[in-house]
Amino acid sequence: MSIDLQQTNKGMCSNSHLLWNRAAPMYNAVSVTRERFMQRKVFAKGIQYRSSLGDTMDKSATVTVISGGDSSERTVSLSSGRQVYDAFLKAGRHAVLLEIDDLSDLASHLDEIEVAFIVLHGGAGEDGTVQQLLQDHGIPYAGSGPKASAIGMDKLETKRVLAGVGIPIPRAMSYSGEDMTQFADTILQKFSLPLVVKAQGQGESIGVKLVKNDRDLVPTFESLHNEFGPFFVDEFISGREFTVPVLRIDGEDTVLPIIEVKSKTEFFSFEAKYTAGMHEVIIPAPLDKPTAERIRDITLRTHQAIGCWGFSRVDVLLSANGDPYVIEINTLPGMTPSSVMHKSAHVAGIDLPHLVERMLQSAFDRPRVG
């Protein structure tokens, strides 16, 4: 079936229900007294209130950097966590590095966390489940909330939201359980080869395949469906690839310098991102002013349409005709030594210790819920 924009609200409700079902069992795995819980709620609200009055962030707060997890991106997360932890120490911040195996492992440590900095990538760490768990236990955390995280992790939900506000995206069709040969025939009637087949709920280009001939379509569908579940097909747009970080600075969502990515593979795959020598980044990207402004504009609009808070990174494709398209958004950008967000911030004059402190500020400035 094609993406149905009328199902946007239904999809978001489904995501919220899923998050609740996934997070709820965790409450049985942790002993947090009501008194301690209420202390956390007061602490969190107090921090938000002080920040709203313009006070500086309290350096005495100990931040717990949460990394690891059980997703396919665990190795990347561990690398991100170590670099972020080191950056906090260089910033003079009291920090703890918590490398977890899974959600139950995190739940057993909740009572030890004062403020959280999540660098879990993929799975429950990025789809809003961990954010909901922390929020419901009164623990301040950096970055986007449960709803924005859920939308951002779901590539089709992201498309629905962006299309609904007029942000350009590649055309797509989602698989809804029909015979895969029939689905391939339908796809070939609507799109021209090559095509991009994507897992719906994976990040960092995991579960993304470029298909150049029709005989490879069904095997690709079967492979992705067996490994990742729901998937969809994007039209292929040839052009230049960019990724653009957004960082909240002094109360304003700010687009950092645009990054052009030149991959030595056919697209910026997971392997290309994290294998030395497989890609080149150019910061700031060599663009004329009108094009750069259009990319900055759709980046900021995407960040805000999804409902992100504090920071994000938006992937943009510039077609041969000069038209920008949003590919996806990453609500928890990678922070490994080879990741690009901190490189863009460096070009903007923000070193890594100051970057993580600014990112952490989002935990203190978050608008009150309810």
Angle, nearest 10°, between helix axes 129-136 and 146-153?
A: 170
CA atoms in the 13 A half-sphere facing the CB of 186? 15
Q: What is the pLDDT of residue 36?
A: 40
Select from 246, 264, 258, 236 the least CA-distant residue to 316.
Answer: 258
DSSP 90-157: HTT--EEEEEESSHHHHHTTGGG-SEEEE---SGGGTSSHHHHHHHHTT--BSS--HHHHHHHH-HHH
Spatial contact of 71 and 61, defined as CB atoms under 8 Å apart: no
Q: What is the pLDDT of residue 132?
A: 95
Sheet holding 231-235, edge to edge: 172-174, 231-235, 195-199, 208-211
What residues have CB less than 8 Å from 93, skipping those under 6 apart?
59, 62, 63, 357, 360
All structural domains of the chain with their residue ranges = 7-147, 171-235, 238-365
Spatial contact of 306 and 151, defined as CB atoms under 8 Å apart: yes
Spatial contact of 67 and 81, defined as CB atoms under 8 Å apart: yes
CATH dotted code for 7-147: 3.40.50.20
**Strand pairing class (63-68; 95-100):** parallel
What residues have CB less than 8 Å from 221, skipping those under 6 apart?
175, 180, 183, 184, 197, 231
Instruction: Give the residues across from 97 on adjacent strands.
Output: 65
Encode the chain (370 residues) as per-residue pLDDT tens digits. 345 433 333 444 444 444 434 444 444 444 333 344 334 433 343 333 233 323 345 678 899 999 999 888 899 999 999 999 999 999 999 999 999 999 999 999 999 999 999 999 988 888 999 999 999 999 999 999 999 999 999 999 999 999 999 999 999 999 988 999 999 999 999 999 999 999 887 765 678 899 999 999 999 999 998 888 888 899 999 999 999 999 999 999 999 999 999 977 665 555 655 556 766 899 999 999 999 999 999 999 999 999 999 999 999 999 999 999 999 999 999 999 989 999 999 999 999 999 999 999 999 998 865 3
Cα 53-60-54 angle, rounded to 5 deg: 10
Instruction: Give the residues across from 329 on adjacent strands.
Output: 314
Q: What is the pLDDT of residue 59?
A: 72
- Tell me if the bond preceding 230 is cis, omega within 30° of 0: no
Q: What is the pLDDT of residue 266?
A: 63
Spatial contact of 291 and 318, defined as CB atoms under 8 Å apart: yes
Query: How many C-beta atoms surround the C-beta of residue 166 within 10 A?
Result: 9
320 phi/psi in degrees, rounded to 5: -60, -25
CA distance 42 to 60: 17
Instruction: Give the residues across from 244 on adjacent strands.
Output: 314
Fold of 171-235: Dna Ligase; domain 1 (3.30.1490)
Tokens of 146: 């449960």
Give, in order, the Cα–Cα distances in Å from 248 to each of 82, 144, 256, 309, 363: 23, 11, 10, 8, 11
Superfamily of domain 238-365: ATP-grasp fold, B domain (3.30.470.20)
**Strand pairing class (252-255; 208-211):** unpaired
Q: What is the pLDDT of residue 261?
A: 94
Q: Do domains 171-235 and 238-365 have the same CATH topology?
A: no
CB burial of residue 307 (10 Å; 0-12, 13-18, 19+): middle
Helix (H, G, I), strand (E, B) or coil at 319: strand
